[in-house]
Amino acid sequence: MDHINNPAHNTFMAMAIAAMQRTALEERSGEPFGAVIVKNNELVAVAGNSVGRDNDPTAHAEINAIRAACKVLNSWDLSGCILYTSCQCCPMCYSAAAWAGIKKIYYAAGWDDYNDIYDDQAIGRDLQKPDHLKNLAPEQLMRSEAVEVWQAVRRDRGITTIPARLPNA
């Protein structure tokens, strides 16, 4: 694992950890999480968690860094970027990184290092259950109306593929 001794990786991770400390212990603007996004070995964005300050449960450090990087790069596509985060990503942040096209994630503290305060694994476990057994018990409503919009989008974009689950199935 040559990345462990790579000075650039250590520099960027140290920045994420510094954002973690600044956010939780100095500014007290959020919980102890920090994130850095890099492209071509150049810093693009640094952010801390601001859930408390912003009264926004989605304002995790990784989400804030992704939002900032998208603004800097003037694109929602962060392909080729690397995410350094002070802690292992929660399911929301991991998903956002994947949707943004981030190519690699490095993290410092793992879930087991702070699961006495935040249990990010609980959401992952819940997502594996069938809908009717999940904590939030999602239920599908008005599927055919929503599928009509997807069909219109396909027509509008000239897409001729068919989804895995056919309408009215």
Q: Which residues are catalytic?
A: 62
* Cα first-last separation, the chain: 47
Burial class (CB in 10 A: 0-12, 13-18, 19+), 154: middle
Angle at Cα 92 formed by Cα 35 and Cα 73, nearest 5°? 50
**Contact 102/83 with Cβ under 8 angstroms?**
yes
- CA pair distance 21, 25, nearest whole angstrom: 6
- CA pair distance 154, 148, nearest whole angstrom: 10
**Contact 60/47 with Cβ under 8 angstroms?**
no
